[in-house]
Structure 1
Amino acid sequence: MGEADREPAVLLVTKVDDTTADLVIEQLNARRVPVVRLDPGDFPTTVAVSAYVDSHGLSGSLRTPSRFADLRRIRSVYWRRPSPYTAAGDLSAQDARWCAEQARYGLGGLLGALPGAHYVNHPWRNRAAEYKPAQLATATRCGLAVLPTLITNDAERARQFAAEHAPVVYKPVRNSDYRGEGHRALTVWVEEVDPADIDTGVTRTVHVFQPRLDKVADVRLTVVGDHFFAVRIDGSPGLDWRRHYDALSYALIETPPEVAKGARTYLDAFGLVFGAFDFGVDRHGRWWMYECNPNGQWAWFPDPITARITNALADQLHHSGQPHAR
């Protein structure tokens, strides 16, 4: 079979130890769909790129130690969790920073401009959808229920909000990397806050406060194109179910029509194909949206649920023939 006859490839952009991506690759391999796995963090050590732009558009190629990709024959891109752009190790700190920025805007720019490729999701769309204030404001416009939310660095206003809406919880705006003693990775969890405990430390950066929802369950709603996988999560003994995986139970449930409509409108507003929504369900059965991770995890679910999401993603990457809006 000649190069021109080869089936267009799926480009999977992620780091080497992404076990979630492995599941999708296995499914595509079973379908005999060519897959090129690329971690931009490997550039320029083991990744080479050569691109050309003229009146006919963009052309060129990518090479990894084991794969070759024609930029014009990439059918779809699954943008997962790549490593940061880097530079050769023998450079000075200043030169390394400069080279890493050139890689980010050069290789990154090419990966975001592949002609005709369908993105799940486009990296620039992912980035725009990661800002929690924008998420919440967009969710309300799309008909999703959102709790009253204060985003502030004003300690007095935070104390007033906590007193008015007690009990109140604190949430980080983003789960950023945080290291404790011995460089051990730490997580800032959702915690209940007493108004008396809010001090001038709030003034140091932006904080998010919301009323504590009197909930009966949590829901992780994973949307892949037109497929909705709502998983009810029960058994968490605390506020943040992510701290209690061993105690949880999962059940695939139907998504209420109004939530499905709102979630679809929300994803369309950001230009996303995939989204992982977190909801709390109150005693009246109403779903309250906390956030939507445009690149959220899903492979920790029981195998029957994970397999369905894997297949839906493989379908998106394999069968979609239309480029995703950029």
Structure 2
Amino acid sequence: MTEPRPVLVVTSLYDPTADVVIRELHDRGVPVVRLDSGDFPASLSVEAEITPHGLVGRLSTLSRTADLAGIRALYYRRPTGFVFPHLSEQDARFAVTQAPYGLGGVLAAVPDCRYVNHPHRIGDAEFKPSGLAAAVGAGFLVPPTLVTSSPDAARAFVKRHGSVIYKPLWNPVYLVDGVSNVVEVAEVTADAIDDGVGGTAHLFQQRVPKTADIRVTVIGSQVFCVRIDSGLLDWRTDYSLLRYTPVDPPAGIGQALQSYLAAFGLVFGAFDFCVGEDGRWWFLECNPSGQWYWLEEATGLPMLSALADLLEKTP
């Protein structure tokens, strides 16, 4: 009897969301190979050959081996970055440029495999300006937004739109007195903008007076919408205040969601909207690797089953 093709899960060692997905796949009899690309090359090796018949070879961890030609689906979550502490500084700089193009290139070229999501498509979709532009093209309402390194342009934008919030374009770890922090979404005034804005790119967006937030998780063709009531500007700052209610999307939202995902070649997306005082949904962002399982625990929506179905199906 032919062994069933495994699902390859690429993520860090600590990923509770991946844990529950793997457990569900195991319960269905679907084999799983889990690896963290950040373990390369210490405890992860790659052998891949480009042949007239396509890409062949294997990925090997300390305990498992995955035949590249036999992978059913690849669930790309949140692997750690490449590090080479055993090398000199110069050699490490060289190695860290080779690894993503080598191992990363192999992971991006697995034959006959369903990606959830493809790592290159994730990378494309994580750029906020292109995401906002795609949202406009998909038909979503998007608040007026400015990306700039000009203090004068930022001040003029704030004066023109009144209530404006600042958002980081990416969320790296930010150390304050040695303590890890994240840069939060916050309201900003024209007087608060100084010449420091000229140091890099910044995102400013008109604040939409809201009555609630919405998290929409799209898994393949299935759409799960949850209203989040909190009274907070950014609901992610205090999960203890959140109240969750499953809701149906307004007319037109479902088609726009699929149009947005198609623009980036995604099959999964975690969308954030705010609900304006008139009830309309305003697009804020889409995270192609966003968290979702805590919403199933809070609401009972069958998102785990939907994701496992997507990974289990043969492309």
- TM-score tier, shorter chain, comes to over 0.9
Aligned to 1:114: 110
Aligned pair 1:261/2:255, yes or no? yes
Is it true that 1:10 corresponds to 2:4 in the alignment?
A: no
User: What secondary structure, in the 3-state scheme, does the structure 2 residue paired with 1:85 have?
Assistant: coil
Q: CA shift at 1:305, angstroms?
A: 4.0
Quote the residue 2:210 is aligned against. 215
Partner residue in 2 for 1:155: 151
Match of 1:279 in 2: 273
Unaligned runs of 5+ in 1: none
8 Å contact from structure 1 (residues 153, 207) kept in 2: yes
In the alignment, what sits opposite 1:288? 282
Distance 1:305-1:71 versus aligned 2 partners, 3 A rule = farther
User: Could you say which residue in structure 2 is the equivalent of 1:248?
Assistant: 242
Who is 2:196 aligned against? 201
Structure 2 vs 1, CA of residues 306 and 14 (structure 1 numbering), >3 Å: closer, same or farther? farther
- Distance of 2:253 and 2:54 partners within structure 1: 41
Which stretch has the larger CA shift, 46-55 or 305-314? 305-314
SS for the counterpart of 2:170 is coil
* 1:308 equivalenced with 2:285 (yes/no): no
Moved more, 193-202 or 263-272: 193-202
Distance 1:6 1:304, change over 3 A: farther
Query: RMSD of the TM alignment (CA)?
Result: 1.3
TM-score, structure 2 normalization: 0.97
1:229 has 2:227 as partner = no
Question: Does residue 30 in structure 1 map to residue 27 in structure 2?
Answer: yes
C-alpha separation between the residues in 2 aligned to 1:254 and 1:55?
Answer: 49
Paired residue type of 2:184? W
- 2:296/2:302 contact within 8 Å kept: no
Taking the aligned partners of 2:157 and 2:4, their CA distance within structure 1 comes to 57
Instruction: State the SS of the aligned residue for 1:108.
Output: helix
Report sequence identity in percent: 49
* Deviations, residues 121-172 of structure 1 (Å, cap 9, x unaligned): 0000000111111011111011010011111111122112111211111111
For the residue of structure 2 that corresponds to 1:175, the secondary structure is coil
Task: Kindly tell me the number of residue pairs found equivalent between the two proteins.
Answer: 315
Alpha carbons of structure 1 residues 257 and 60: separation in structure 2 relative to 1, 3 Å? same
The offset of 1:97, in angstroms, is: 2.2
Higher mean C-alpha displacement, 306-315 vs 161-170: 306-315
Cα distance in 1 between the residues matched to 2:305 and 2:298: 11
* 1:21 corresponds to 2:22: no
- Which residue of the partner structure matches residue 163 of structure 2? 167
Which residue is equivalent to 1:64? 61
Q: Is the 8 A contact 2:244 2:298 kept in 1?
A: no
- My pick for the range that moved more, 188-197 or 303-312, is 303-312
SS in 2 for 1:284: coil
Report how far residue 306 of structure 1 moved: 6.5
Partner SS state of residue 124, structure 1 = helix
Give the drift of 1:300: 2.4
Q: Runs of 4+ in structure 1 displaced over 3 angstroms?
A: 304-307
Cα distance between partner residues in 1 of 2:40 and 2:252:
45
Q: Could you tell me whether the CA contact under 8 Å between 2:164 and 2:189 is conserved in 1?
A: yes
Q: 1:123 to 1:211 in 2, by over 3 A?
A: same
Letter in 2 for 1:289: F
Does residue 123 in structure 1 map to residue 119 in structure 2?
Answer: yes
Q: TM-score, normalised by structure 1?
A: 0.93
Question: 2:181 is paired with a residue of what secondary structure?
Answer: coil
Quick check: 2:76–2:118 contact (8 Å CA) kept in 1?
yes
Per-residue CA shift, 1:190-240, capped at 9, x if unaligned? 11112111111111111111221110000011111111111100023x311
Q: Which moved more, 1:249-258 or 1:112-121?
A: 249-258
Measured in 2, the distance between the counterparts of 1:173 and 1:91 equals 32
